[in-house]
């Protein structure tokens, strides 16, 4: 009922407009750059307000108070001068939706006509990732949003949910398969922005970007798996291509302020790449208190927590940490749990965790430990449900852990078995992951390696 009354009111207003101007209403102006929302809105609506009033006094529309004795306009509602604006949309031919057509139909189509551009971007920024990519075919403007500064800001404001997982499967070594744990869907991008002549493996990620290292440990690459943003980093100054552990941190809250990548080798050599300067530097040496050679656990991805990178080492067992801001290395000696294999570090809300396989008398189970910071000991805090562990009984199982912050993906493999599981560290939830099958394929892929990353449409390498 109310809707009909409103519709009638709108029709009435439009008819008034036509009478006043004798032609169709002008296109809403579309300012080029993001404006404070309240200002933009009052500019849009001034048009409608003007039409409603007989006396045409515009002062009324700029004052908010109607109290006795008080007058004057508020700062925020001063007459707003729109900046020079370009018409961004092409003139639309309205031959089909003529004014003589059913007025209700016309009204339906007109609903979003005066909706401000930036609010459109706010809506689109809220769509699920895959949906955004589908809707890129809606029109040119939506397709170009990845290049828009204002859209970037809206994306940055959307609260981060679960990370996605970027995986290298044994059959697709050159292109990745991505897993979305919120919708439990695998995605197989057809066009990879990565060079396909060399094999590169994901080693770290931060802010929606993934850092890759080629299999010969020579060159680093940074890429946003969702957009085509891709960069090959300048060569390192080291000539010996030995195995390295890699960590990545953001300078600020998003990739807009840049990022840093650190590699460290067993001989204690390390370098830091700064994306702002686009160069590698050697901030110093490892302190002599840290025993060399560093028997780094290369299967454990470096954990980044609060601007500090943590690497697992053995001989002696423990963690070496590097503070990106101060450039200081620290070492903690922490004895590893017994009968532990395939272990990796993880982190959740400031807590340092350890994930690994515990094998005792042919029974294997996935266990989670938390580091007790006071005693520097690992304390078991969770285990994979027993029913699932029974599958591994008597089998030689290997585990790969993808992601190390909050949500982990565990790939468990033995000769006849290939299981994928996710574990949420804070909710302690174990969930099965649907098998990774390429489109029009039937065979379940097994995951060779991978990393978690926060899906960010506008992160730029």
Q: List residues near other proteins by CB under 8 A.
A: 2-3, 6-7, 37-38, 41-42, 44-45, 49, 52, 60-61, 63-67, 70, 74-76, 89-90, 92, 107-116, 119-120, 122-124, 126-140, 142-143, 185, 187-191, 439
List strands edge to edge, sheet with 209-214: 200-206, 209-214, 220-223, 230-232
Query: For residues 58 and 281, which CB has a smaller minimum distance to other proteins in the complex?
Result: 58
Query: For residues 93 and 288, which CB has a smaller minimum distance to other proteins in the complex?
Result: 93
Q: How far is the CB of 449 from other proteins (least distance, A)?
A: 21
Q: How far is the CB of 4 from other proteins (least distance, A)?
A: 11
Q: Which helix (H) or strand (E) holds 117?
A: helix 117-125
DSSP code of residue 30? -
Q: How far is the CB of 139 from other proteins (least distance, A)?
A: 5
In terms of Cα–Cα distance, which of 441, 395, 384, 438 is closest to 418?
395
Distance CA 360, CA 196 (A): 43
Query: For residues 23 and 93, which CB has a smaller minimum distance to other proteins in the complex?
Result: 93
Distance CA 448, CA 404 (A): 16
Q: How far is the CB of 147 from other proteins (least distance, A)?
A: 14
What residue has token string 């686009």? 278
Query: For residues 44 and 424, which CB has a smaller minimum distance to other proteins in the complex?
Result: 44
Distance CA 355, CA 279 (A): 34
Instruction: Quickly count: other Cβ atoms within 10 Å of residue 346's Cβ.
Output: 26
Q: How far is the CB of 307 from other proteins (least distance, A)?
A: 25
Long-range CB pairs of 355-360 (<8 Å, 24+ gap) are 355/401, 355/408, 355/410, 355/423, 356/399, 357/397, 357/399
Q: How far is the CB of 183 from other proteins (least distance, A)?
A: 10
Query: For residues 7 and 340, which CB has a smaller minimum distance to other proteins in the complex?
Result: 7
Q: How far is the CB of 356 from other proteins (least distance, A)?
A: 28
Q: Write the burial class of residue 340 (CB in 10 Å: 0-12 exposed, 13-18 middle, 19+ buried).
A: middle
Are 449 and 402 within 8 A, CB to CB? Answer: yes
Are 352 and 303 within 8 A, CB to CB? Answer: yes
Q: How far is the CB of 373 from other proteins (least distance, A)?
A: 23
Q: Which residues contact 226 (CB under 8 A, 6 or more apart)?
A: 129, 133, 208, 455, 456, 457
For the stretch 352-378, what's the b/e string if a residue is b when 16 or more beta carbons lie within 10 angstroms of its beta carbon? bbbbbbbbeeeebbbbbbbbeeeeeeb
Q: How far is the CB of 153 from other proteins (least distance, A)?
A: 14
Query: For residues 169 and 251, which CB has a smaller minimum distance to other proteins in the complex?
Result: 169
Query: For residues 142 and 430, which CB has a smaller minimum distance to other proteins in the complex?
Result: 142
In terms of Cα–Cα distance, which of 387, 395, 456, 383 is closest to 423?
383
Query: For residues 44 and 219, which CB has a smaller minimum distance to other proteins in the complex?
Result: 44
Query: For residues 187 and 299, which CB has a smaller minimum distance to other proteins in the complex?
Result: 187
Distance CA 257, CA 207 (A): 11
């Amino acid at each position: 009922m109310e809707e009909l009354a409103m519709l009638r009111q709108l029709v009435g207003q439009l008819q008034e407009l036509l009478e006043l101007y004798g032609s169709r209403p002008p296109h809403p102006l579309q300012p080029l750059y993001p404006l404070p929302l309240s200002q933009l809105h009052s500019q849009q609506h001034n048009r409608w307000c003007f039409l409603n009033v007989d006396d045409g006094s515009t002062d009324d529309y700029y004052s908010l108070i109607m109290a006795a004795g008080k007058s004057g306009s508020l700062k925020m509602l001063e007459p707003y001068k729109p900046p020079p604006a370009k018409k961004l949309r092409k003139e639309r031919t309205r031959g089909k939706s003529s004014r003589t057509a059913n007025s209700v139909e016309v009204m339906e189509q007109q609903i979003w006509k005066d909706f401000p551009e930036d609010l459109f971007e706010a809506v689109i920024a809220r769509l699920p990732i895959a949906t955004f990519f589908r809707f890129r075919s809606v029109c040119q403007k939506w397709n170009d949003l990845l290049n828009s500064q204002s859209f970037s800001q809206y994306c940055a404001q959307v609260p981060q949910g679960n990370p996605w997982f970027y995986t290298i499967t044994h059959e697709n070594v050159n292109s990745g398969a991505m897993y979305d744990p919120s919708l439990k869907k695998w995605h197989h991008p057809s066009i990879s922005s990565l060079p396909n002549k060399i094999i590169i493996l994901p080693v770290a990620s931060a802010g929606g970007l993934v850092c890759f290292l080629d299999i010969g440990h020579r060159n680093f690459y940074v890429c946003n798996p969702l957009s085509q943003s891709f960069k090959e980093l300048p060569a390192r100054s080291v000539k010996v291509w030995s195995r390295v552990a890699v960590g990545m941190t953001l300078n600020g809250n998003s990739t807009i302020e840049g990022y840093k990548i650190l590699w460290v080798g067993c001989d204690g050599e390390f370098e830091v790449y700064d994306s702002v300067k686009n160069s590698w530097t050697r901030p110093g040496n490892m302190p002599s208190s840290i025993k060399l050679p560093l028997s780094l656990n290369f299967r454990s991805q470096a954990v980044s927590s609060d601007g500090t990178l943590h690497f697992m080492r053995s001989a002696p067992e423990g963690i070496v940490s590097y503070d990106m801001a101060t450039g200081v290395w620290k070492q903690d000696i922490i004895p590893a749990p017994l009968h532990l294999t395939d272990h990796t570090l993880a982190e959740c809300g400031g807590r340092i965790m350890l994930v690994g396989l515990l094998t005792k008398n042919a029974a294997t189970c996935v266990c989670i430990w938390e580091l007790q910071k006071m005693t520097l000991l690992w304390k078991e805090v969770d285990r994979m449900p027993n029913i699932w562990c029974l599958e591994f009984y008597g089998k030689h199982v290997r585990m790969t852990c993808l992601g190390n912050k909050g949500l982990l993906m565990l790939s468990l493999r033995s000769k006849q078995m290939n299981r994928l599981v996710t574990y949420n560290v804070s909710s302690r939830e174990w969930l099965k992951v649907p098998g990774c099958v390429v489109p029009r394929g039937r065979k379940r892929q097994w995951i060779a390696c991978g990393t978690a990353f926060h899906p960010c449409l506008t992160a730029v390498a």
